[in-house]
Amino acid sequence: MHTDTNLGFVFPGQGSQSIGMLAELAAGERLVRETFEQASDAVGTDLWRLSQEGPEDSLNRTDLTQPALLAAGVAVWRVWCAHGGSAPAILAGHSLGEYTALVCADAFGLEDAARVVHDRGRFMQEAVPAGEGAMAAILGLEDEQVREICEAARGNEVVSAVNYNAPGQVVVAGSRAAVERAVERAKEAGAKRAVTLPVSVPSHCSLMEPAAERLKERLATVALSAPRIPVLHNVDVTAAESAESIRDRLVRQLFNPVRWVETIHAMRERGVTRLVEAGPGKVLTGLNRRIERRMPIKPVMDPKTLEAALEEEGAS
């Protein structure tokens, strides 16, 4: 497989799932169903049926969303490789997408990763009972303003900036009441938009530390190896080179911010000039237009987008 030193791959996280995802791609590519079957067998749930038929509230359950999205991203990657697409110089994934990147870099087996993210979702949900935590998107303020708002809104509870998704687009998470106070303060500060998100778990804030402890124990039982392609990690925007350092970064990722803007800039600094978003939806494609407008990004999720991205690579 030829490596294109100017190509980077990115994999989406929770929020990109939808009923019917990858259906068109699966119709002509048996690898899609095969990949889902592998992940389904690992977690004991028919993830393909769930992703095609729902019900939506089950697909959106964090312990099922995570393995379903993992399977989706890996399936697109496998189809890309089967069609002779170039190997990228570097990979990254947004939150859960980091696990997808590690599977595609051969650091993690798909079955092991599916079981781990299934448990990760359960640990996250059990750390903060449904209704007690919240996340909110704040648009149109500077990062520092959002951090100051969180500080002011915190009181005796938890609220912090957790996803630096794009300039002027930050997600905060924490205790429900504190997040709601932060939303009100953001509106008063002139945010274009400040809205709570339909999620059941306040990811990447300190409330996730108990889940991270359990994840640490779980990861210790799984075989990991040095990635074949460098993977930039959310927590520190570096590429880990050993199994132990990957485990450490995955544990810390759970209760620290996703530094996505810095991740894309770091890819640019490493010589990446084009990106592919592998998986359902176009969330990262949308963010990229705000982060690196001059770095083209192509989403791949169906036969049409696959063909368009492969054409650019000169493959078929």
Q: So which residues are the catalytic ones?
A: 95, 204
Displacement of CA 169 from its chain's centroid (Å) = 16
Tally DSSP H helices, then E strands, for the chain. 14, 9
DSSP structure string for 127-187: HS-TTTEEEEEEESS-HHHHHHHHHHHHTTS-EEEEEEEETTEEEEEEEHHHHHHHHHHHH
Judge contact between 115 and 42, C-beta under 8 A: yes
Only one residue has tokens 């379903």, namely: 68
Contacts of 188 (CB under 8 A, 6+ apart): none
Alpha-carbon gap, residue 235 to 229, rounded angstroms? 18
The residue length of the chain stands at: 316
What's the burial of 38, exposed, middle or buried (CB within 10 Å: 0-12/13-18/19+)?
middle
Judge contact between 63 and 121, C-beta under 8 A: yes
